[in-house]
Amino acid sequence: MFVSQNFGESGKMKEYHYAGPTEHRFSPYAFNGGTVLAVAGEDFAIVASDTRLSEGYSIHSRDSPKCYKLTDTTVLGCSGFHGDCLTLTKIIDARLKMYKHSNNKTMTSGAIAAMLSTILYSRRFFPYYVYNIIGGLDEQGKGAVYSFDPVGSYQRDTYKAGGSASAMLQPLLDNQIGFKNMEGVEHVPLTKDKAVQLVKDVFVSAAERDVYTGDALRICIVTKEGIEEQNIPLRKD
């Protein structure tokens, strides 16, 4: 049976029934899709995102990555409403520069996370519709991942998936990186190569089942040597 479906806010589907005259209200938000993922290792962090930019049934662009390099040791991944992503990254860049000029040092990952939390909360009553994940190295050189909600609640994690396919990816990461619900398994620490391979596999799975995820995968690997980028093609359908 074919059911025609409309899109409401945040990409949730609404059933179409003929219900008489409806009121169309201007919504300041749009849902542009995309998935972001970050993993922290012993001395590295990986931030990965797909590069598809969609709206409703259309794809606006196949080359719009959602990873933004903030400093030499920190990368931000943001998905949700692209307009707010752009503005938010501009604001963060400006604040980073201000900090650098006032304090003569680069902001650390933890400091950026705390700052982002207050930036997001300052718009508590008209939020930035963005799901953020920060990946980077902390002051000790260990990998750090900070995940946020749209209004600024955050915490430090080892791994996190955000965006449209997050509910599909997170359980897989829980099992493979967190060893959750596995009995009698040795907890081997994650190496960089294994982590990169896992991220690729996980996105390939996401592209299979989420319409908003696909086209290409951009991986940013943060180590003390710097930030290495890789591009891997994904399904374009």
Partner 1 sequence: MALASVLSGECADFSLDFRQPFGHNCGPGQSGAECDAAPGDSVSFSVKNPMLAGDDDGVERKIEFLHGTTTLAFKFEHGVIVAVDSRATAGSYIASQTVKKVIEINPYLLGTMAGGAADCSFWERLLARQCRIYELRNKERISVAAASKLLANMVYQYKGMGLSMGTMVCGWDKRGPASCTGCCLKMGSLSTCQLIDEVEGAAVGLHHTPLRRQDSAWLYYVDSEGNRVCGDLFAVGSGSMYAYGVMDSGLRQDLTVDEACELGRRAIYQATFRDAYSGGQVNLYHVHSGGWTRISQEDVLMLHQKYRDQA
Whose Cβ is closer to partner 1: residue 98's or residue 191's? 98
- Only one of the segments 24-32, 49-57, 133-141, 201-209 lies at the binding site for partner 1 (rule: CB under 8 A); that segment is 24-32
Q: Decide if residue 127 touches partner 1 (CB under 8 A).
A: yes
Q: Decide if residue 59 touches partner 1 (CB under 8 A).
A: no
Q: Decide if residue 81 touches partner 1 (CB under 8 A).
A: yes
Of 13, 56, 97, 121, the one binding partner 1 by CB under 8 A: 121
Q: Decide if residue 212 touches partner 1 (CB under 8 A).
A: no
Q: Decide if residue 94 touches partner 1 (CB under 8 A).
A: yes
Q: What is the DSSP letter of 211?
A: T
Quickly list DSSP for 110-128. Answer: HHHHHHHHHHHHTTTTS--
Q: Decide if residue 22 touches partner 1 (CB under 8 A).
A: no
Min separation Cβ 153 and partner 1, Å: 4
Measured CA to CA, the distance from residue 113 to residue 146 in angstroms comes to 7
Measured CA to CA, the distance from residue 96 to residue 178 in angstroms comes to 33
Expressed in angstroms, the distance from the first to the final Cα of the chain is 23
* Contact present, 189 and 179 (Cβ < 8 Å): no
Whose Cβ is closer to partner 1: residue 18's or residue 125's? 125
Whose Cβ is closer to partner 1: residue 57's or residue 126's? 126
Q: Decide if residue 27 touches partner 1 (CB under 8 A).
A: yes
Tokens of 99: 């900090």
Measured CA to CA, the distance from residue 47 to residue 77 in angstroms comes to 7
Of 29, 55, 211, 230, the one binding partner 1 by CB under 8 A: 29
* Contact present, 66 and 203 (Cβ < 8 Å): no
Of 157, 200, 205, 232, the one binding partner 1 by CB under 8 A: 157
Q: Decide if residue 179 touches partner 1 (CB under 8 A).
A: no
Measured CA to CA, the distance from residue 48 to residue 55 in angstroms comes to 21
Measured CA to CA, the distance from residue 176 to residue 140 in angstroms comes to 25
Instruction: Enumerate binding residues for partner 1 (CB under 8 A).
Output: 9-12, 26-29, 31, 80-81, 91, 94-95, 117-127, 129, 147, 149-155, 157, 167
